[in-house]
Each structure stands twice: as structure tokens, then as C-alpha cells.
Structure 1
């Protein structure tokens, strides 16, 4: 049940996106409005995902992206983390908008954090489709010579052994095949902790975000260091 909550966490509440035939509608977010983006930092990280990246239900300064940026700056990095998270996005939706987002940025990102797939699980989409879309996005980024961190998802056991095995291998397999960094489970340390979840019982609260950032920041720092040496 805890993992199932995680999967739902990647989708917005119904009042944000509406629902048609039990499926979430895709949304348009200010995360795609990059025309006036000013980058004053030496390093640009693009956070490209769904509501877990977008900061659903949190104040503007409490979400994953601003908290990660603060942690990296406190660690001595001159970095800007740009939020391109859209609540409700599936991997297919993310693939469709990726070129637009990248081309709208003032310059090429130094690193892209890719965190999509939870809404695919919510809709029960075939793992093969999820893998194909994620692979296409990783290819786009590697072809542009942009380093990638995949932040993975896990399928709940109640989706069946075959489905779980087919889905859960997606992220580590792509990371190995394309030589990109893998953070296996975005909600590590938060799932099942009611004190770290919003009243909706689904999304991480500000304290939950702090836990996620504390656990993930070292992986991001390592990727930045490796990128700087390349």
C-alpha cells in the first residue's frame, strides 16, 4: 500500500487536472514557460518530471527543486535547478514536450534529472511502452551530450509478479545501457511515513522533501563532479 501511494503521488489531485474515464488529463504547466528564464549560475540542472518534481501541494520554496538547489548551493555549488515538472505527465507526455523545453532554455543544461513513469503505473500502461518512452528521452539527451540522472520508480506488488519484474528493471537497465546515473527510488525514506506525507495521504510534505533531498543530493553532487571532470 505504501508503494501504491507513491505511484498515486505522481499524479495531481482531480481538481488540478480533471479526470476522464478514470484517467488523468495531461496538464500545461508554467514549468514549460522558459522564454524569460535568466541563468546567473555557472551550472544549470533541469529537473524534468511529474508532480513529485513540480512540488504539488507545497509552497513555492518548499518543493523538491528549490530545496535541492538550496542544498547544492550550501554544499558549495554555483547552481540553478530549473523546474520542468508537470503534474499528471506520463512518459509519453514527457517525451512529446522534451524538445520544446530543451530548445526554450537559454543554454544547454549541464545535467538533466529525469523522473517520469509513476503516472504510467497509475494508468496501468504496459511497461514496454514506459521503457520505450524513457529510452527515447534518454537518447535525446545523450545525443545532445547532456548528462542524465534517472530517478526511478517501483511497481506495487499487487500489479502482479510479471508486471513488477518487467517494470522495475526499466530504470537500472537504461542506466546501464546508456551509462547514465541512477537514483533507484525517488521516495526512498518517505514512503510509509505518515509524518512525512501531506494530509492527502499521498504527496510528501515539506519534511518529506527534506528527507528526499538529503538522500538524493550526494548522487547529484557526484554527477556534477563527474561532469566537470569530463
Structure 2
């Protein structure tokens, strides 16, 4: 005759089974949380620019930087440190504090236009931009250099020296260059404000498109580096 399992053992069996189920659920939850926590952080973009990136003469929300923020959504943090009227010298003076405070993954440098409009030395402009690039690279940040052109008011030789700065820097420091931020815009009166210098709100999506083709690979590279 078989003996039945004592009733006390039934209670113990149920207790052990309950603890096992609880442990399995706990470990599964911990695994899910670990996967969530391992998701790579979103990159931080620091934009050093002048009025072209500060939405001069239009609503700030209509500017290309704001449109970029909308496109990226929660997938990036954007710090727009652009100031209307800023020169490369002014930008350089602020740069160390900004890069130290925000520790960006990508730095977009859109400066030089005001140097050119004021007839400042292209050599000094190049030195200022070079210092910002070097500080960015020393902080392990990728650099996107946004070039600009100017009218030939100071002569073609000055204009050539001015635009040549951007190409020279891109080659020397192996950084990505957008040769002319206002490509397809500057010569279209319908897309420029009455001063002939600043683009209208309608031009801002086009500016973003000019930037995006060069920026997208840097964003992808930043995500890949964060995942490694």
C-alpha cells in the first residue's frame, strides 16, 4: 500500500514553488531593465553660430536650428549658442566654457560671416576657427564646419581668401564641411530678407537640408560609438 505525501509537505511544496516563480519574475524584470539601461545615450549637439543660426528677423521657432530639433525629437539634445553679430573672435572667447559645460558629441561651427562683412583678417579668422576645431577634437567631439560666402565688396582676392579658409580647415583637420550654408538661397530674392543678408522663414527648411546631408553621417557615427 502506497503512502500519501504528508499534508505538511504539500504546504512546503507550494511555498517553494511560489518562491521560485517570484525569483524567475524578478530576474526577468532585472534583465529587461538592464537592456533598457544599456541603450546608448542621445548625442549632444553644440551649435556655435551667428545670426544665420540665431533666427535673426524671424520667429525663433522658424529657424533652421529649431527645425533640426523638431526633426531629431528626443533623439538628440541641441544647445544653440548662436548670437547675432558674433565673430569668430567672440565665439572663441565663449567656446571653452561652452564645450566644458555641455560636453557635446558634435559641434557645428557656423561663424565667419561677420568677419567677412567687416573686412577682418582671413588669417585671424582661420586661426580662431582652428582653435575651436582643436578644442572640439580634444574633447572627442566631431566637427561640422558650415561655410559661408560674402559679396565681393572688398575685392575678389579678399573673397577668395575668405572662402578658402573653410576648405583649408576642412582638409587640415579632416572635418566635414558644408561649403556654403545658403546654397540655393542667397541669390533668390524671394528667400532673403530686405537686408539681402539674412534668409526668410521660408528659406529655413532649405538651410536645414543643406546641413542635414552632412550632419546625418555624424549622428549615425555618434550613435554607433556610444553603443560600443
When the two structures are superposed, what TM-score results if normalisation uses the length of structure 2? 0.75
From 51, 55, 77, give the equivalent of 1:80: 77
TM-fit CA distance, 1:215: 2.5
Is the 1:48–1:113 contact (alpha carbons within 8 Å) kept by the matching residues of 2? yes
Is 1:130–2:125 an aligned residue pair? Answer: yes
Structure 1 gaps, min length 5: 1-40
Q: How far apart, CA to CA, are the structure 1 residues paired with 2:173 and 2:157?
A: 24
Is the 1:113–1:149 contact (alpha carbons within 8 Å) kept by the matching residues of 2? yes
TM-fit CA distance, 1:194: 1.9
Structure 1 residues 194 and 121, CA, compared in 2 at 3 Å: closer, same or farther?
Answer: same
Q: How far apart, CA to CA, are the structure 2 residues paired with 1:151 and 1:60?
A: 20
TM-fit CA distance, 1:187: 0.9
TM-fit CA distance, 1:82: 1.7
Is the 2:147–2:166 contact (alpha carbons within 8 Å) kept by the matching residues of 1? yes
Is the 1:72–1:217 contact (alpha carbons within 8 Å) kept by the matching residues of 2? no
Is 1:204–2:199 an aligned residue pair? Answer: yes
Residue aligned with 1:46, SS: strand
Q: Which residue of 2 aligns with 1:51?
A: 51
Q: How far apart, CA to CA, are the structure 1 residues paired with 2:77 and 2:202?
A: 22
TM-fit CA distance, 1:122: 1.3
Q: Which residue of 2 aligns with 1:98?
A: 95
* Larger deviation, residues 110-119 vs 64-73: 64-73
How big is the alpha-carbon RMSD for the aligned residues of Structure 1 and Structure 2?
Answer: 1.7
Q: How far apart, CA to CA, are the structure 2 residues paired with 1:168 and 1:200?
A: 21
Is the 2:89–2:128 contact (alpha carbons within 8 Å) kept by the matching residues of 1? yes
When the two structures are superposed, what TM-score results if normalisation uses the length of structure 1? 0.75
Structure 2 gaps, min length 5: 1-40
CA displacement 1:35-80 (0-9 Å, x = unmatched): xxxxxx712111111111111112121112111122334xxx7122
Q: How far apart, CA to CA, are the structure 2 residues paired with 1:101 and 1:184?
A: 25
Structure with larger RCO (C-alpha < 8 A, sep 6+): 1
TM-fit CA distance, 1:143: 1.1
Q: Which residue of 2 aligns with 1:157?
A: 152
Q: How far apart, CA to CA, are the structure 1 residues paired with 2:160 and 2:196?
A: 26
Structure with more of its chain in helix, by fraction? 2
TM-fit CA distance, 1:133: 0.7
Q: Which residue of 1 aligns with 2:70?
A: 70
Q: How far apart, CA to CA, are the structure 1 residues paired with 2:62 and 2:144?
A: 22
Aligned length: 185
